[in-house]
Amino acid sequence: MALSLLSASPPLRLRRSIRRTSCSLFAAQRAKRNLLELISDQDRGLRTQKDAARRDAIVNAIESMAVIGRSSVTTGDSLSATWRLLWTTEKEQLFIIEKAGLFGTRAGDVLQVIDVKRRMLSNVITFPPDGVFFVRSDIDIASPQRVNFRAEKQKEIAPSTRRVANQGKATVLALGKAFPSNVVSQENLVEEYLREIKCDDLSIKHKLQHLCKTTTVKTRYTVMSRETLHKYPELATEGSPTIKQRLEIANEAVVQMAYEASLACIKEWGRPVEDITHLIYVSSSEFRLPGGDLYLSAQLGLRHEVQRVMLYFLGCYGGVTGLRLAKDIAENNRGSRVLLTTSETMVLGFRPPNKARPYDLVGAALFGDGAAALIIGADPTESESPFIELHCAMQKFLPGTQGVIDGRLSEEGISFKLARDLPQRIEDNVEDFCKKLVAEAGSGSGSLELNDLFWAVHPGGPAILNGLETKLKLKPGKLECSRQALMDYGNASSNTIFYIMDKVRDELGKKGRGGEEWGLGLAFGPGITFEGFLMRSL
């Protein structure tokens, strides 16, 4: 029996002892692509290949993949994988596949889904376009490198405690996060920051100390570090033309963080990278051609035919814009799986403090770096685990507010200005926006009140959260996930909404079916632009 593993792990031989390759992901993917190209037009059964040279090439490719996994060790969790049986046997085809034509259909793939976490093996035979035949068995974990299969007995399956996604609706199937290695404690920020930029102005020190307390931030992650400033001392010099240096740092950093977040997301998803059909790349922190979407796609080993979209310089609402676009793609392209990534660093906006630019100190006390990644798709398969359904999404801008959030690119980087009335502008318009979103839930949800929902609100800062909580008369704790994300990560621009959703997932998981079914996600940014989405917990 010849097998190929269609996942991020390299192909292995199906036997009671399963080993995982320790070679690089790139080498494994290259070897796998080579084998799949060789057998792309191959009928089932190795003996159906009449070309001896072609047959030898296939056999050699299989053997080379076996070498990749030799003498390597895995952990139990990484045994989970989906196998595709390229040939069922050298002698004969499975009866059900051979006789498929009698039933007016054709056989598709034969799959084996090994799920260590659920201790289950599923044999799956597909009959396109939508027929599926299952045979299941349980597995026991005999050791970190071995699983034992045992026959499945007839038994009644208990009803699921999870809600079921509506057919055709986009769902969030996985979520991953990544951060730079430099962790900033707000408690130590003032002394370290002023020392590194060689500032001894006491008024600036007192102002920054005050801001560090009022932001409520405790920790943040930053690309900017002591080593960076030592390498590029001009970044801390007022008036220096440093856009070239900033982009050198940022362009590399945002793709690397997006890559790490994507790997974490794909691992949670559990399907191979080849199944990703679309990539949406969101960032306000880099600028180049080609963009980071292409570099990320190549680094992940996505198919060359993956459909890519870049969303640049949207600011804090960019993550929700990406989510809205991913929802539209997933619901209008059957079987699609969209990888949505956001990645941000404040390197472009880092500047030495100046009394003429008080907002620079707000940035120093509030903003953080990081990345996030999600897999979005409709009609989840049995192997996928959706946790949020995206019911509807909406965007709105407030006329005449273009100057309230202002960012300008110059030779010194990006300079930002925020009007003092930003929280009030949001507060004055948010209730109507939320009620329009809730109305989209329809009659099936009953009469929803705002306090019946769970909330994921981008925290531009504590003033915005406080004003929104008061205006909407929300109960204490409704915005707790947003406050916790602000405390743990700062304002990480487009990433922040997904850090909040991750915390929401944990909280709803603790409540089970007793938790809120419907929720609202909100973000605000330049324009002033409102982005929102109505979601269901699954």
Cβ atoms within 10 Å, residue 322:
27
Phi, psi for 454 (deg, rounded to 5): -95, 155
Question: H/E element holding 62?
Answer: helix 52-68
Alpha-helical runs (H) found in 413-527? 422-439, 462-471, 480-489, 496-511
Cβ atoms within 10 Å, residue 57:
16
Closest CA to 537 of 426, 420, 456: 456
- Cα–Cα distance between 399 and 299 in angstroms, integer? 41
H, E, C per residue of 122-165:
EEEEEECCCEEEEEEEEEEEEECCEEEEEECCCCCCCCCCCCCC
- Cα–Cα distance between 208 and 188 in angstroms, integer? 12
Question: H/E element holding 300?
Answer: helix 292-300
Cβ atoms within 10 Å, residue 260:
19
**For residue 394, what are its two tokens?**
């909406």
Contact by Cβ (8 Å): 235, 315:
no
Q: Is the dihedral of CA 450, 451, 457, 459 positive or negative?
A: positive
Q: Specify the long-range contacts of residues 252-256, CB closer than 8 Å, at least 24 apart.
A: 253/180, 253/223, 253/285, 253/345, 253/347, 253/369, 254/283, 254/285, 254/286, 254/292, 254/343, 254/344, 254/345, 254/371, 255/286, 255/292, 255/295, 255/296, 255/299, 255/343
- Cα–Cα distance between 302 and 314 in angstroms, integer? 25
- Cα–Cα distance between 537 and 505 in angstroms, integer? 8
Half-sphere exposure of 77 (CA within 13 A, CB side): 3
User: What is the pairing mode between strands 81-87 and 2-5?
Assistant: antiparallel
Q: Residue 513: CB partners within 8 Å, gap ≥ 6?
A: 161, 162, 163
- Cα–Cα distance between 247 and 335 in angstroms, integer? 37
Residue whose pair of structure tokens reads 């085809």 in the numeric block: 93
- Whether 392 is a known active-site residue: answer no
Which of these is catalytic: 316, 392, 434, 481? 316
State yes or no: cis peptide before 528, omega within 30 of 0: yes
Residue whose pair of structure tokens reads 């709105």 in the numeric block: 396
Catalytic residues: 316
